[in-house]
Amino acid sequence: MTHVRISDDAIARACGADELAAAFESAGCTVDRVSSYGMHWLEPLVDIDGIGFGPACADDVADILAGSSPKSIGRIADHPFLARQTRLTFARAGRTRPMSLEDYAATGGWSGLSRARTLTPAQVVADVTASGLRGRGGAGFPAGIKWKTVLEAPGEAKFIVCNADEGDSGTFADRMIMEGDPFQLIEGMAIAAHATGAGQGFIYVRSEYPDAIAKLNRAIALSADIVAPFSLEVRVGAGAYVCGEETSLLNSLEGKRGEVRAKPPLPALEGLFGCPTVVNNVLTLAAVPHILSEGGAERYAQLGIDRSKGTMPIQLAGNIRHGGLFETAFGITLNELVHDIGGGTTSGRPVKAVQVGGPLGAYLHPDQFDLPFDYEAYTVADALIGHGGVTVFDDTADMGAMARFAFEFCAVESCGKCTPCRIGSTRGVELIDRIRSGGATAADAVERLPQMHNARKSNRSRPEELALLEDLCETMQFGSLCALGGFTPYPVRSALKHWPEDFGQ
């Protein structure tokens, strides 16, 4: 009987993996549902004894079983897309059944936690610090320092909070870990708990990820005895991008509006319910089991460049031929990512722009594609690595429209607490509309009293409007309480800088 492996990751399912699995079962095969290799252009990918076929549909089943399918890609492990990666966090991707404790243990699972439990909390913190691991959620803050603060903070109770509110367009690595390797995340959280003295943990998942929520709940139940006395719970967001910001997330977990808190106090000192709290992203916590395994911290620190250590799961998205999950050491360039690995655009047209780091990240021009993937190098270039999303646009993209969308998105998702973000985002949409239309827009037709101090909405010259836009961006960047308002100027300014022709004349 032929044994078939097909991913049950949300991407594979959205591309028809369930129907494909059913077709193989009706053809008399046994089917295992595994995690995704992350080669998304090949999903659903069929794995028979290590040989891959994709993207496959029910019509291909007979050919595949007969050994005559033109969709064969040969040995999956030898595929150049996989062979070029350094997979630590995603080492199990495509190889294990997500809900199988057996598979997890057989692939080195729980070895990091076992070793951590032979160490003192301070020793675990020292290991994480030595690895150079920085927060993978976007801010890039050293994880060891955060953990040390929580370890040393006085408090009756301490918490580990996993930020799984992955709202950035162009990112899906958190979702893939939660769906494909949830025990790794649980193990990372249990290690964090041991290192800081926390008894309870929460995984805050966005409601847009129902598959991840269901699998996490099952995985938590299955592994409860292993991680005890640490206990874990999933909490579901309710549709608010800003809850990806750590203090908004904490407010939301407490059952409040997801408004940003002013810092200080740091969440490490006064976080969830006022207690010392580690707030780390999924990828950060999922990197920890490897680091805590024997010699892991040293191996991790040897990868990467400068102060960006270890590997980054990069998400190749948008208009890219070979889109998917590419984990590699820091230092890789966009040229390699987009052209060599990604194979250029799906549409076959020239690349116009790449947005790195989600909706709040800058649009990079092909002239900048030699920039090494490194936190500091990106900062110098007025750009962000963020959560590692790389979204490719071809030459049909209208960058003026994308700049407008950046403001529009900020206006929809602003928590409203600070004025630059709440009002600035709406003003930004109006400004870009006026700049692109060369003056007054339909919105200006609203009847206004001449004595209103801001009555003059139009009739500014283009340089005056552009200066106003610059002023607005400055105000939002430095006056906003969190990254939503503070970073929205990145996509706007970069679009205007590199593609002024898309903003009208």
Partner 1 sequence: MQKANLAEIIDAHAGRKGALLPILHDIQAAFGCIDANAEAAVAKALNLSRAEVHGVVSFYHDFKPAHDPRPVVELCRAEACKARGVESIAAAAETEAGERVNLKAVYCLGLCSVGPNARTGDRLHSRLDEASLLNLVRSA
State phi, psi for 234 to the nearest 5 degrees. -95, 135
The CA dihedral of 322, 323, 325, 327, to the nearest 10 degrees, is 50
As a whole number of angstroms, the distance between CA 360 and CA 413 comes to: 12
The nearer residue to partner 1, 253 or 287, going by C-beta atoms, is 253
Bridging pattern class, strands 277-281 and 159-164: parallel
Residues in the chain: 505
Q: Which of 109, 276, 310, 324 binds partner 1 (CB under 8 A)?
A: 324
For 43, the token pair is 């999903």
Kind of pairing, strands 389-394 and 311-318? parallel
Closest CB to partner 1 among 394 and 502?
394
Does 402 participate in binding partner 1 (rule CB under 8 A)? yes
Asked if 409 is part of the footprint of partner 1 (rule: CB under 8 A), the reply reads yes
- Residue 316 or 385 having the CB closest to partner 1: 316
Q: Does 258 bind partner 1 (CB under 8 A)?
A: yes
**Residue 393 binds partner 1, judged by CB under 8 A:** yes
Q: Does 502 help bind partner 1 (rule: CB under 8 A)?
A: no
- Please identify which residue in the block is written with the tokens 């390797």: 181
Task: Indicate which single residue of 3, 75, 218, 256 sits in contact with partner 1 (rule: CB under 8 A).
Answer: 256
Strands 308-309 and 311-318, bridge-based pairing:
unpaired
Give me the 437-476 binding string for partner 1, x by CB under 8 A, dash otherwise: ----------------------------------------
Answer yes or no whether residue 207 interacts with partner 1 by CB under 8 A. Answer: yes
Distance CA 259, CA 263 (A): 13
- Give, as one character, the DSSP assignment of residue 296: H
Q: Is 265 in the site for partner 1 (CB under 8 A)?
A: no
Give the dihedral of Cα atoms 248, 253, 256, 262; nearest 10 deg: -30
Selected from 32, 152, 208, 444, the binder of partner 1 by CB under 8 A is 208
Which of residues 52 and 389 has its CB atom nearest to partner 1 in the complex?
389
User: Which residue from 5, 13, 134, 290 is in contact with partner 1, where contact means CB under 8 A?
Assistant: 13
Give me the phi and psi of 150, to 5 degrees please: -70, -45
- Does position 43 interact with partner 1 (CB under 8 A)? The reply is yes
Tell whether residue 235 is a contact of partner 1 (CB under 8 A): yes
Shortest Å, Cβ 169 to partner 1 = 3
Window 282-311: residues binding partner 1 (CB under 8 A): none
Distances 452 to 253, 281, 455 between C-alpha atoms, Å: 43, 47, 5
Question: Does an H or E element contain 461, and which?
Answer: none
Rule CB under 8 A: choose which of 109, 188, 201, 359 binds partner 1: 359
For partner 1, the closer of residues 168 and 245 by Cβ is 168
* Contacts by 266-270, CB closer than 8 A, 24 or more apart: 266/149, 268/146, 268/149, 268/150, 268/153, 269/149, 269/153
Give 167 or 489: the residue with its C-beta nearer to partner 1: 167
Say how many C-beta atoms besides its own lie within 10 A of residue 451's C-beta.
6
Q: Which of 168, 246, 327, 374 binds partner 1 (CB under 8 A)?
A: 168
The region, left, alpha or beta by phi > 0 then psi within -120 to 50, assigned to residue 366 is: alpha
> Is 385 exposed, middle or buried, given 0-12, 13-18 or 19+ CB atoms closer than 10 A?
buried
315 touches partner 1 (CB under 8 A): yes
Contact with partner 1 (CB under 8 A) among 187, 327, 394, 502: 394
Q: 102 Cβ partners below 8 Å, 6+ apart?
A: none
Residues binding partner 1: what is the number (CB under 8 A)?
61
Cβ at position 321, least distance to partner 1 in Å: 10
Query: In whole angstroms, how close is the CB of 371 to partner 1 at the nearest point?
Result: 19
Quickly list DSSP for 99-136. T-HHHHHHTTTTHHHHHHTTS-HHHHHHHHHHHT-B-T
* 355: contact with partner 1 by CB under 8 A: yes
Separation of first and last alpha carbons in the chain: 67
Q: Near partner 1 by CB under 8 A, which window of 133-141, 283-291, 386-394, 429-437?
A: 386-394
148 binds partner 1, rule: CB under 8 A: no
For partner 1, the closer CB: 12 or 29: 12
> Please, what is the minimum distance in Å from the beta carbon of residue 87 to partner 1?
17
Near partner 1 by CB under 8 A: residue from 52, 137, 310, 318: 318
Report if residue 35 touches partner 1, rule: CB under 8 A.
no
Q: Which among 112-120, 134-142, 320-328, 419-427 is the span making contact with partner 1, rule CB under 8 A?
A: 320-328
Question: In this chain, which stretch among 119-127, 370-378, 412-420, 466-474 interacts with partner 1, using CB under 8 A?
Answer: 412-420
Give yes or no for residue 216 binding partner 1 (CB under 8 A): no
Cα–Cα distance, 177 to 387 (Å, whole number): 14
Q: What is the DSSP string of 326-366?
A: EEEETT-BHIIIIIIIT-S-SS-SPEEEEEESGGGSPEEPG
Q: Return residues touching partner 1 (CB under 8 A).
A: 10-11, 13-15, 40-41, 43, 166-172, 175, 207-211, 235-241, 252-259, 273, 315-320, 323-324, 346, 355, 358-359, 389, 391-394, 397, 402, 405, 409, 412-413, 415
